[in-house]
Amino acid sequence: MLKTINELNKQLGKYKKDILLTWFFCVIETMCEIAVPTLTGWLVNLIKGEAVCFFSESIVIWGPSTEINLSRVFILGGIMILTAVLAIITGILAGWFAANAACGIGHNIRKSMYEKIQKYSFNNVDKFSTSSIVTRMTTDITNVQFAYQMTIRASLRAPLLLVFAMTIAFIKSWQLALVFLCLTPVVGFFLLFIANRVHPTFVQIFNTYDHLNQEIQEDVAGIRVVKAFDRQKEQNEKFSKVSLFIYKKFVKAEAMIAFNSPLLQLLSYTSSILICFLGATLIKKYGDSFLTTGDLTSLLTYVFQIMFALMLLSMVYVQVIIARNSAERIVAVLKEEPDIVSPENAITEIPNGEVIFDNVNFHYFSNPDHNVLKNINVTIPTGSTVGIVGSTGSSKTSLLNLIARLYDASEGEVKVGGHNVKEYDLTALRDSVAVVLQKNVLFTGTIKENLLWGNKDATDEEIAKACDMACASEFINRFPDKYDTMLDEGGTNVSGGQRQRLCIARALLKNPKILILDDSTSAVDTHTDATIRGYLKNEKPEVTKFIVAERVLSVKDCDIILVMDEGEIVAKGTSEELYSSCQIYKELVDTQLGGGDFDVAN
Amino acid sequence: MSQTKRPIMADKGQMKSAIKRILGYEVKYFPVPFFLSLFCVIVSCISNAANSMFIGTIFVDDILANISDPDILSRLAMYLGIMAGIYLCGIVSIYFYNFLMSKVAQGTQKKIRDELFEHMQTLPLSYFDTRTRGDIMSVYTNDVDTLREAMSRAWPMLVSATFSIIVVGVMMFITNWMLAIIVILLTIPMFFFTKAVTKSSGKYFVKQQISLGKTNGYVEEMINGQKVVKVFNHEEEAIAGFNVLNDKLCEESTKANRYSNVLMPVINQAGTLQYIILGIIASVLLVYKDNLGSFEAMFSVGTVVSFLMYSKSFTQPIGVLSQQINLIVMAVAGATRIFEMIDTPSEVDDGYVTLVNAKEDENGNPVEVSERTGKWAWKHPHETGEVTYTWLRGRVTFDDVDFGYVPEKIVLHNVTLYAEPGQKVAFVGPTGAGKTTITNLINRFYDIADGKVRYDEININKIKKADLRRSLGMVLQDTELFTGTVKDNIKFGKLDATDEEVIEAAKLANAHTFISNLPNGYDTMLEKAGGNLSQGQRQLIAIARAAISNPPAMILDEATSSIDSRTEEMVQKGMDAIMKGRTVFVIAHRLSTVKNSDVIMVLDQGSIIERGSHDQLIAMGGKYYQLYTGNAMKK
C-alpha cells in the first residue's frame, strides 16, 4: 500500500511545492481554529467577571473584576477577529494550493500513463487488454485524483486537530482531558471497524453493478431477439433479481454506515455529560479559580472539534481504501516495461521488400505452451504478391504481425530486406511496412486528417492518387464535403466497405516497401476488390504485397499462395498448383464455387 | 463521446419537476419509512439544540452560578439524567434517520431502475434504432448512478441540514428573540456569499466535466485504436493531441476545485466571526442590561453561551448545503433523462387475434384446447361476438405496401408479394434496397404506412404482437446471445423445453458436434454474450434457438462472408435444415441459397424490380442476370 502511494507521489513533480505550501497553510489554519474556543472561553470569563489566565493560573492576563470591562472585551474581540481572518486567508491559500496539487498530480499521472502506453508493444497491450487500459486511464485516475483532493488537507488537518485539541484539554485540566483520552480511541476504533466491514460489501455491490450493466447491454443489443421470442417478462425477472440483490446488499451496507453519525454523537454527548459533571465536581471541590466557566465551555467546544477530527480521519481512511485498487492498477501500467524497443545502432534504411521466415516459432505471452506458429520457413522475393488462406485460427494474422515487429518471434528469425527485423529502427521498419489490420479503425476527424496518418506531408494529389488506387475516391467525391467530410468515432458513419477502402488508402500513403492487407476487403464487393488488386499490381510492382482473405477470389491470382492450417504452412504455390495438390485449398475453392457469393456492390 | 453533448446541470424547471417526481416515488412506495425518517430527523435536531440550551441556561446559569449549594451535585446529576435520556433519543433517532433514509433512497432507486428497464422492453424498435447503444447505456451507467449518489448521500444531508436550521431557529427565538434576530441578520450576508460562490463554482464544475468527458473520450478512442497508432508510428502525434486535452482539463479542474476549496474555510470562519460579533454584542447588552428595563431577565451569561453554540449549528448546515448542491443539480439532470426514457410511449399493441393450442375435429377444423398439442390456431373474435379459428400455417402476403422509417421518406414502394406455406422467398439486391426493411414489417417491428400485410389471411394489425412474433422464427446476421449456459440460450426459444428437445434442436441446427466438444458441453457458460465463441458458433446456437421454437415461418438473415469457409458450410447446413417445411424469408448472400429458393425477389431502391425462380430470372436477362454473371465465380 505504502509502496503504491510512494510510486504515485513520484508523479507530483513540480506540484510538490504546492503540497508543501498546502500543508504549511493548513498548519496555521488549524492552529487558528484551535485557538478560537480558548479565546471564546476567555470572552466568557470576561463576561462572568472571572480572571483570564494564559493556560496556567500563574500567567494572569486580566484579573477578576466585578463588572464587565468593555475595553477588554473589544481587545479580545479584535484578537479573535484577527485570528478568524487569518484562518480564512490561510484556509483559502491551503485550498488553493491543494487544488493545484490534486489536479496537478492527476494531470501528471494521466500524462505519464499515456506516454508509457504509447511505448507499449502489442504484447504489453494484450497483457492488460484494451478495455482495461481505458478503465485505468479514465475511471481509475478520476478515483485517485478525487482521493488526493479529499485527503491532501484532511490527512494533515485531522491528526493536527486531534493532537492540538487534546493537548489544550490536558493543559486546562488533565482530569477532564482523560474523558477525551478514554472515549476517542474507542469511537475511532468503531469507525475504522465499520469502514473495514462495509468496504467488501461495496466492492461486491459494484461488481454486481457490472453484471447488471452487462445484462442491460445484452438486452439492448438483443432487443430484436427479445421481442421476436416475446421474452420481455423473463428478461424483466432476470433483471429485477439482480436489482433486488443490489438493493439488499446496499441496505445491509447502509445499515452499518448509519452507525457512523450516532457513534460520533454518542462520543460528544457522553463527553458533555462527563465534563459537566466532573467539571462541576472539581469546581465545587477546589473553587472556581481552579477551573473557570470559560475553561469549561471551551472544553465543551473541543469535544466538537475532536468529533470533527475523527470524522475527517474516518473519511480519509475510506477514501484511501476506495482508491487503493485504482492506485494499484495505475502503478501496474506505469511499471510495465515495453518489450519491443529499437536496438542501439539501429539500421534506418530498409533496402527492399524481401521477407524471409527462418525456422520461426511463435507463441503469445498468455499461453507460452501453445505455439501458434510452428516451423515457418519461407522466402518471399521482393515485389511479389502473396496470398494467405486458411481457416479461422490458423494463425495467418500472427504470421504477418511478425514482419512489422508488432510481436517478436519466439524462436527463429524474421528478415526483411536481408536483415533481422530486430536490427532495424522501429520507426523506420514500420514506415516501410504498411499494415492494414483486420480490426481496423478510423478516428474522429475529417477523411483527409485520417488519410494524413499515412504521411503527414502528403499533397492533395498524392492523397487523391492513393484513394484512386483504393477505389475510395469514387465515394469520397460523392460526399458533399468530399475530403473534408467528418468521420465519427471509429468511422461509423461510412459503410464497412468504405471504411476498409479508406484504411487501404491510408496505408498506401505511407509509400511502403511491404503492404499487408489482413482481410481488408471482406466488406468490399468482389468487383471493387478485383479493381483494387489490379491497381496495386500495376502501379506498385516493386512493393511486396501480402493479402489475407477468406474469399478465394481475392488471392486466386497471387504469385504465391500460402495455405495455413493450425499454425503451419501446409502448402505453397500458385492457384493451379494448389488446386491439384492441396486438399484444403481444393475444398475451399469448391465450397466457394458451389455456393458462390451473391454480395452486391455497396 | 456523446456524453459530452448531454447537459450536465439541470435547469430550474427540470429541478422542480424531477424532485417532485422522486419525492412522489418515495411517498407512494415507502410512506411509513419516509415520514418516520422525517420524524426522526426532527427529534435528532431537537436533541442537538437541547444540548446547547442545557449547557447555557442550566449548566452555566444554574449549576455553576449556585455551585456552593450543598445539594448542587445531586441536582446536576438529576439534570444530567434527563439530558442523557434526551441524548439517547437523539442518538437512536439519528441512527434510524440514516437507516430509513437509505432504505427509502435505495428502495426508490430499485423502483426507478426496475421501472426503467421494464419500460425499455416495451419501447418500439424505432427507439433503439435511432439511438446508439452507448446513449441508452449511459442512462443506466451514468444517470442512474449519479442519482444514486445524490439520493443516498447528498439528499439526507440536505434534509437534515434544512431541519437543523429550522429547529435551531425556533429554539433561538424561544430562548431570546433579540439575539435570534441578530444571528439571522448576521447569517444573511453569509447566505448570499455562499450562493454566489456556489453559482460560479457550478459554472467551473460544468466546464471541468465537459473537459473530463473530452479527455476520456479521446483516451477511449485512441486506446481502442492503439494498434493502428503503433502501425502508423503515430505515437508522438497521439501524445501531442492528448497533452492539449489533458492540460486543458488540468486547468479547468484546478479552477473548479479552487472555488469549492475556498468555500469551506470561509464558511467555517464566517461562523466563527459571527460567533465573535455575537459575543461582543452580547457583552455590551449585558453591561447595559440594567438600562434595558423589562429585557433584563432575558440576558444572562448562560444565554450568551447557548447562543454561541446555536450560531454554530445555524451556520454549519449552510456550508453543508453549499457542498452538496452541485451534486444534486447534476443528479437531477440525470434524473430528467431517466424520466424522459420512462415517459417515451410504449409500443402500441391493439391486436386481439391470439395464438392458441388446438386439435383437429372430425372435419379437420381447429378446436381450441388448453393442453399442448403441438398444433396451433389463430383465435379470432369478431365484433358480432362470434369466434372463429384458423390453422396456423405460415402464409404471408404483402398487398401494395408502402413504408418509411420517417413519414417524409418512403423507403418501400408498392411492395406486393405472397408466400405459400412451406415456400422459400429470397430477397436479393444491393445494401439499402429494403431487404431488411421488409422483414421488419412481417413481425411488426415497424408498422406499415399504407397497404396490408396478412398472415394466414388475417391482417397482422389485428394479431397480438407477442403471438405474431412467436409464430415467426428469426435468425439474424449479428447474432445476439445472452450470458448464461449454452442450454439457457437455446431454451430462450422455448422456455419449457426438455434437455432432449434442446439436443434435438442443436442436432437439427448442426450445432451438436461443436457444443459437445465445449468444456462443459451444453452447460458451458457463455461469457460476455458468447464472446468466447466464434461468430460461426454463435450463429449455430442462434439457429438452434430458432429451431426449438419450431415456428411455421422464419426470417433468416444470412451472414456475409466474414466467417471462414468451413464454419460457414456448417452454418449453411444448419440453415438449410431448419428451412425445410417452413415458410422462409431469407435475406440471401449466397448463391446456393438463392438458387434453391421458390421465389426470388430482386429489390432495388425500395421496389421489387424482378421476381421469379432462378431459371426464370436468368432467362429474363435483367438485373438478376447481371448480378449473377457479374459476381458468380467462374472456374
| Local confidence band at B32 (pLDDT 50, 70, 90 cut-offs) | very high
- pLDDT score, position B566: 66
pLDDT greater than 60 at residue B294: no
Is any Cβ of chain B less than 8 angstroms from the Cβ of A289?
no
Bigger pLDDT: B469 or B270?
B469
pLDDT greater than 50 at residue B16: yes
- pLDDT score, position A70: 79
Using a CB-CB cut-off of 8 Å, the residues of chain B touching A82 are none
- pLDDT score, position A483: 87
Q: Residue B218, class by beta-carbon neighbours within 10 Å (0-12 exposed, 13-18 middle, 19+ buried)?
A: buried
pLDDT greater than 70 at residue A388: yes
Element housing A388 (H / E): strand A385-389
pLDDT greater than 90 at residue B225: no
Which of 296-355 (B) contact A at CB < 8 A?
301, 304-305, 308-309, 312
Distance CA(B506)–CA(B510), nearest Å, equals 6
Distance CA(B494)–CA(B491), nearest Å, equals 5
Residue of B nearest to A394 (CA): B564
Of A102, A277, A597, the CB nearest to B257: A102
Of A46, A103, A441, the CB nearest to B257: A103
Domain covering B2-342 in this structure, CATH number = 1.20.1560.10
Distance CA(B384)–CA(A392), nearest Å, equals 61
List C-alpha distances in Å: B360 to A326, A500, B372, B381, B471. 66, 57, 13, 19, 19
**A-B Cβ pairs (cutoff 8 Å, strict):** 431
Amino acid, single-letter form, for residue A198: V
Contact A222 B564 (CB under 8 A): no
Is any Cβ of chain B less than 8 angstroms from the Cβ of A486?
no
pTM confidence score = 0.79
Using a CB-CB cut-off of 8 Å, the residues of chain B touching A206 are none
Comparing A267-271, A590-594, B97-101, B404-408, the range with the smallest average pLDDT is A590-594
Using a CB-CB cut-off of 8 Å, the residues of chain B touching A148 are none
| Local confidence band at B295 (pLDDT 50, 70, 90 cut-offs) | low
| Local confidence band at A94 (pLDDT 50, 70, 90 cut-offs) | very high
pLDDT per position as a tens digit, B338-396: 898 899 998 888 888 888 888 888 887 888 887 777 778 888 888 888 888 888 888 88
Using a CB-CB cut-off of 8 Å, the residues of chain A touching B254 are 99-100, 103-104
Element housing B450 (H / E): strand B450-455
Q: Which site among A276, A278, A308, A526 would you substitute to test the B interface, given the most B Cβ atoms closer than 10 Å to its Cβ? A: A276
Q: Residue range A74-102: average pLDDT?
A: 90
Look-up of cell digits 460567533: B275
Is any Cβ of chain B less than 8 angstroms from the Cβ of A506?
yes
Q: Residue range A580-587: average pLDDT?
A: 79
Distance CA(A330)–CA(A326), nearest Å, equals 6
Candidate CATH numbers 3.40.50.2000, 3.40.50.300, 1.10.510.10, 3.90.120.10; the one for domain A437-511 = 3.40.50.300
List C-alpha distances in Å: A1 to A326, A327, B89. 12, 9, 41
Using a CB-CB cut-off of 8 Å, the residues of chain A touching B98 are 254, 257-258, 260-262
Element housing A526 (H / E): helix A526-539
Please state the separation of Cα A451 from the chain's center in Å: 29
Distance CA(A574)–CA(A592), nearest Å, equals 18
pLDDT per position as a tens digit, A458-486: 888 888 888 888 888 888 888 888 888 88
Using a CB-CB cut-off of 8 Å, the residues of chain A touching B249 are 107, 110
Q: Residue range B565-570: average pLDDT?
A: 69
- pLDDT score, position B635: 33
How many angstroms away from the CA of A189 is the closest CA of chain B?
Answer: 18
pLDDT per position as a tens digit, B572-597: 777 788 787 788 888 877 777 777 88
- pLDDT score, position B1: 37
Residue of B nearest to A230 (CA): B466
Bigger pLDDT: B268 or A356?
A356
Is any Cβ of chain B less than 8 angstroms from the Cβ of A117?
yes
- pLDDT score, position B40: 92
Contact (Cβ atoms closer than 8 angstroms) between residue B560 and residue B536: no
Question: For chain B, how are helix, strand and coil distributed in percent, rounded to 5?
Answer: 65, 15, 20
| Local confidence band at A601 (pLDDT 50, 70, 90 cut-offs) | very low
pLDDT greater than 90 at residue A510: no
pLDDT greater than 80 at residue B569: no
Of B229, B250, B589, the CB nearest to A598: B589
Q: Residue range B191-210: average pLDDT?
A: 83
Residue A59 has, within 13 A of its CA and on its CB side, a CA count of 4
Q: Check residue A18 and give left, alpha or beta (phi > 0: left; psi -120 to 50: alpha).
A: alpha
- pLDDT score, position A18: 92
Of B117, B239, B480, the CB nearest to A216: B117
Q: Find all residues with CB under 8 Å of B453, minimum gap 6, and list them.
A: B396, B397, B398, B399, B401, B441, B442, B459, B460
Q: Where are the domains of chain B?
A: 2-342, 354-391, 420-450+459-631
Is any Cβ of chain A less than 8 angstroms from the Cβ of B410?
no
pLDDT greater than 50 at residue B634: no
Is any Cβ of chain B less than 8 angstroms from the Cβ of A493?
no
Look-up of cell digits 462572568: A48
Indicate the class that CATH gives domain A342-433+515-595: alpha beta
Closest by alpha carbon to B94, among B144, B174, B39? B39
| Local confidence band at B328 (pLDDT 50, 70, 90 cut-offs) | confident
Is any Cβ of chain A less than 8 angstroms from the Cβ of B220?
yes
How many angstroms away from the CA of A68 is the closest CA of chain B?
Answer: 6
How many angstroms away from the CA of B13 is the closest CA of chain A?
Answer: 30
Domain covering A174-290 in this structure, CATH number = 1.20.1560.10
Bigger pLDDT: B280 or B289?
B280
Is any Cβ of chain A less than 8 angstroms from the Cβ of B549?
yes
- pLDDT score, position A435: 86
Using a CB-CB cut-off of 8 Å, the residues of chain A touching B118 are 236, 239
Please state the separation of Cα A85 from the chain's center in Å: 41
Q: Residue range A549-573: average pLDDT?
A: 82
Comparing A5-9, A548-552, B119-123, the range with the smallest average pLDDT is A548-552
- pLDDT score, position B88: 93
| Local confidence band at A305 (pLDDT 50, 70, 90 cut-offs) | confident
Residue of A nearest to B252 (CA): A103
Q: Which site among A598, A599, A602 would you substitute to test the B interface, given the most B Cβ atoms closer than 10 Å to its Cβ? A: A598
Bigger pLDDT: A495 or A415?
A415
Query: Does B2-342 match B420-450+459-631 in CATH topology?
Result: no
Question: Residues spanned by CATH 1.20.1560.10 within chain A?
Answer: 1-156+322-339, 174-290
- pLDDT score, position A90: 92
Pairing of β B583-587 and β B553-557: parallel
- pLDDT score, position A597: 53
Q: Residue range B129-151: average pLDDT?
A: 81
pLDDT greater than 60 at residue B297: no
Given CA atoms B19, B23, B28, B29 in this order, what sign does their dihedral have?
A: positive
| Local confidence band at A24 (pLDDT 50, 70, 90 cut-offs) | very high
Q: Residue range A357-382: average pLDDT?
A: 85
Q: Residue range B221-239: average pLDDT?
A: 83
Q: Residue range B568-573: average pLDDT?
A: 74
- What's the topology of domain A1-156+322-339? ABC transporter transmembrane region fold (1.20.1560)
Q: Residue B159, class by beta-carbon neighbours within 10 Å (0-12 exposed, 13-18 middle, 19+ buried)?
A: middle
Is any Cβ of chain B less than 8 angstroms from the Cβ of A297?
yes
Q: pLDDT exceeding 90 applies to what percent of chain B?
A: 6
The CATH superfamily assigned to B420-450+459-631 is P-loop containing nucleotide triphosphate hydrolases (3.40.50.300)
Using a CB-CB cut-off of 8 Å, the residues of chain A touching B265 are 29, 87-88, 90-92, 94-95
Q: Which site among A50, A83, A118, A208 would you substitute to test the B interface, given the most B Cβ atoms closer than 10 Å to its Cβ? A: A118
- pLDDT score, position B630: 57
Contact (Cβ atoms closer than 8 angstroms) between residue A50 and residue A2: no
Q: Residue range A232-258: average pLDDT?
A: 88
| Local confidence band at B53 (pLDDT 50, 70, 90 cut-offs) | confident
Q: pLDDT exceeding 70 applies to what percent of chain A?
A: 96
Report the interhelical angle of A16-48 vs A141-172 (nearest 10°).
30
Of A117, A226, A258, the CB nearest to B95: A258
- pLDDT score, position A23: 92
pLDDT greater than 90 at residue B92: yes
